[in-house]
Amino acid sequence: MYSCNVVQVRRLPCCFEIQVYLYNFTIYILSQKYTQMNALRLGLFLVISFVWHSASVAQTIFSEDFENATIPGVPAGWTETHSGAGDGFVSNIGAIYWNANPVPRHTKFGLVDESNHRGNTMVTLTSSAFSVAGVSVAWLNYDDFYFGGLIYSNTEKAYIQLAFDGTSTWVTVDTITTFSRSSWGSRSLDISSSVSGHSTAKMRLNYKNNSCLQATGLAIDNIIIYQPCTTDLALKSLQPQAGDPANDYYITGTGAKFSGTVVNKGASTITSFTIHHSTGSGTISSNTYFTSISPGGSFDFTDSLLYTVSAGLNYVSAWVSVAGDGDHANDTLKTTIMGVPSLPHKRPFFEEGTGTWCGYCVKGIIYFDSLWKLYPHDVSVVQVHHNDPMQWNNPSSISYDEMTQKYIWAYPTYLLDRNYLGGSTSALQDFTLFRTSFGFAEMQLEVDKTDSNFLKPTVKITPAINLSGDYRIEIIVTEDQAHGNVSGWEQENYYGIGGSATGDMAGCGYNFNDSQAIIPASSMYYNFVGRYTQPYLLKYDQNGVAGSLPAAMVAGTTYTATGINTVSPFGMLWNWRQLRFIALIIDNNPQNYSYGYVLNSVSTVQNMQSLGFPLTHSELPRIRIAPNPAIDKVRFTFGLTEAGAGQLSLHDVMGRLVYRGAAVQLSAGEQQFECSTADLPGGVYYVTVSLKDGVISDRFIVVK
């Protein structure tokens, strides 16, 4: 038994409310038969009330949320024009896959999709006229998902413009600048100086691709121009987000924290506010924050109190309160948290675009090899080659390369769980974030050699929750140590001698910093090369093998996937002894937040050369953790088939080191480490044991 001591690492629109007041007071006058003098006094009160109330609540001048648009048409009253190769502005909903990333789920939104077009496109969407008469103070608010860049240069631009009093002179009130790969942005700005002094206005959304290159596009929603209240604090976002596998699944009985963003939509600075949470049975918590939020500004909060998660769906409402808030319609958001009995072993899935012609792609070689060597049991990786001898093509189908090009807009970048696009240098950081996602099911993968010509993969899954609908399995085969001597196998290298790129590119058997600008083919061996996929006929909208999993699956029950074909690599120009297999679970339910995403993966850790059959993912030992959740101590147990050195480390959910023990010599047999968690805050943690043959890792939860 080994022990370790862990230390802590320290409301309604203004005009409607006025109508209610007038209606109520009119009824009161008639019923009480007030005298004329009393009526005049009351009239004076109404005037005073009208003046005070119009300064206290927001008044909408113009708005468009695209909810009444018929997909793909533009909203009524708007006019769309475009030139060049693009399709123009449309209305849409759900995940639209650009070169750069899928558009995150949203309500209906306006969309310019330039992902399949090249060249000198200009798109406009122009509203009908609206009144701005007498408006001296006005703010613009909108949500957007926008990259503002092309594959090779930043010539993609987008603007919000206004034209006043029937003229055709367009004034740019905002240049859209949000750059995000994973979430919508929100923008608030004061446009009073543009609007003041005019009687009517039109709005124009203007998108330009001033290049012959392929661009991404613009997604925009919830556009509003308004006169702000004196005081108005809106609850803009709330986490955990309902249905998001990354953050709304918790082990039953553990504590969940709420976080989110508030936005000051009023005209005055806010210095304090309170966030409240409740379920149907009453208030969970109230937390007051003291901070200065200027008009148009925002503040990200994280509550200090924990909500104890019950089994199944937990329905939670949150709302913000501040003294004098003049608009309560934007105060409240609702979410759900799923209480589950266990957290499956989550393995993020990386697909990287690469090519021997790409001088920057040696960076992908370094980082992917490093990621695999650190976490062979916790990650699945594929390098998808483009325009070189390792590109996998099939004349009767869309190739693996062509499919990933739909998402990957530059090399070397990767698609993570077919959900998020990242650059090679952030692979370890993104892996740390995605491994905390809910994995939905434990996965087992076995590969048998059925005869001299075929390999048979068998996939078994055990869901952690009941699953109903269309979930599918996809099979991918990769090759290690791919090698050739003909033209195209040589690797360009911008990090080498005389190269223009900088960075430490030493590791995984190579030192690209000391290499030439072009490394000869005789010196290059490539790993994780994508060789085969099933479904074989890949399409952009095809997610896994149809019918491979039952339509209804019960938590805790093990299911064997059907319809998985044997693979015949022996007639191919592949070294079958260097092949690895990967299995994916994919959500193919369009109504789900995670539609099209890889929910979990499993990979054969060693290649075919290293093992007999069957070949499984479990060559290294698994860590047994008890108790989990832990309160004041936790015990880690695993077995070793032979003696060797070992070192235990603990990290928090953000990847920060909490504890690292000394390297110790371990004998063959069962090993136990016991750690105190008394000083650790509640939350998710990872235990990692470094052994001579690799690294084993798993997660556990500390509750307080």
Each residue of 315-330: pLDDT tens digit?
Answer: 899 999 999 998 898 8
Distance CA 694, CA 686 (A): 16
Average pLDDT over residues 503-529: 88
Average pLDDT over residues 270-284: 86
Among 176-180, 261-265, 675-679, the minimum mean pLDDT is found in 176-180
The pLDDT of residue 354 is above 50: yes
CA-wise closest residue to 233 among 106, 334, 332: 332
| Residue reference for tokens 């008044």 | 59
pLDDT digits (tens, 9 = 90+) for 114-128: 766 656 678 999 999
The pLDDT of residue 284 is above 60: yes
pLDDT digits (tens, 9 = 90+) for 242-259: 767 767 888 888 888 888
The predicted structure's pLDDT at residue 426? 79
> In 494-638, which ranges are continuous DSSP H helix?
none
Is the Cα dihedral 407, 184, 208, 175 positive or negative? negative
The pLDDT of residue 617 is above 50: no
What number of other Cβ atoms are within 10 A of residue 114's Cβ? Answer: 25
Q: Which tops the pLDDT comparison, 45 or 159?
A: 159
The predicted structure's pLDDT at residue 76? 93
Tell me the β-bridge partners of 533: 476
Among 35-49, 184-198, 478-492, 630-644, the minimum mean pLDDT is found in 35-49
Among 93-102, 290-299, 309-318, 558-567, the minimum mean pLDDT is found in 93-102
The predicted structure's pLDDT at residue 375? 86
The predicted structure's pLDDT at residue 149? 61
Rounded-to-10 torsion of CA 30, 34, 40, 44? -70
Among 266-275, 533-542, 573-582, 678-687, the minimum mean pLDDT is found in 533-542
The predicted structure's pLDDT at residue 651? 81
CA-wise closest residue to 235 among 141, 138, 318: 318
The pLDDT of residue 21 is above 70: no
Token readout for 250 is 């918790």
The predicted structure's pLDDT at residue 565? 86
> In 349-508, which ranges are continuous DSSP H helix?
362-374, 400-405, 427-434
The pLDDT of residue 6 is above 80: no
The pLDDT of residue 155 is above 90: no
The predicted structure's pLDDT at residue 200? 97
Q: Which tops the pLDDT comparison, 622 or 500?
A: 500
The predicted structure's pLDDT at residue 563? 92
The predicted structure's pLDDT at residue 25? 28
Token readout for 585 is 């679970």
Tell me the β-bridge partners of 683: 702
The pLDDT of residue 586 is above 50: yes
State the pairing for strand pair 249-251/332-340. parallel
State the pairing for strand pair 259-264/233-239. antiparallel
The predicted structure's pLDDT at residue 160? 96
The pLDDT of residue 31 is above 60: no
The predicted structure's pLDDT at residue 182? 67
Identify the helix (H) or strand (E) that includes residue 23. Answer: helix 14-32
The predicted structure's pLDDT at residue 158? 92
Token readout for 440 is 């939905």
pLDDT band (50, 70, 90) for residue 574: confident
Region of 496 on the Ramachandran plot (φ > 0 left; ψ -120 to 50 alpha; else beta):
beta
pTM equals 0.67
Where does 494-643 show beta strands of DSSP type E?
Answer: 506-507, 510-511, 518-519, 529-534, 552-553, 559-560, 579-587, 598-603, 615-616, 624-626, 633-640
The pLDDT of residue 49 is above 70: no
Average pLDDT over residues 646-650: 87
| Residue reference for tokens 């240069």 | 153
In the chain, helix, strand, coil percent, each to 5? 15, 40, 45
pLDDT band (50, 70, 90) for residue 40: very low
The predicted structure's pLDDT at residue 119? 62
Q: Which tops the pLDDT comparison, 55 or 262?
A: 262
The pLDDT of residue 527 is above 90: yes
CA-wise closest residue to 5 among 684, 701, 682, 658: 658
Distance CA 11, CA 470 (A): 40
Whether the bond between 681 and the residue before it is cis, its omega within 30 degrees of 0, is no
pLDDT band (50, 70, 90) for residue 628: confident
Token readout for 635 is 């015990």
Share the mean pLDDT of the chain: 80
Q: Assess contact for 289 and 299: CB atoms under 8 A.
A: yes
Q: Which tops the pLDDT comparison, 687 or 128?
A: 128
Contacts of 289 (CB under 8 A, 6+ apart): 272, 273, 274, 275, 299, 301
Distance CA 145, CA 102 (A): 10
DSSP letter string, 322-355? -TT-S-GGGSEEEEEEEEES-------EEEEEE-
Helix (H/G/I), strand (E/B), else coil: 123: strand
Percent of the chain whose pLDDT exceeds 90: 34
Distance CA 511, CA 496 (A): 9
Average pLDDT over residues 606-610: 59
Tell me the β-bridge partners of 146: 218
The predicted structure's pLDDT at residue 162? 97
Average pLDDT over residues 558-569: 88
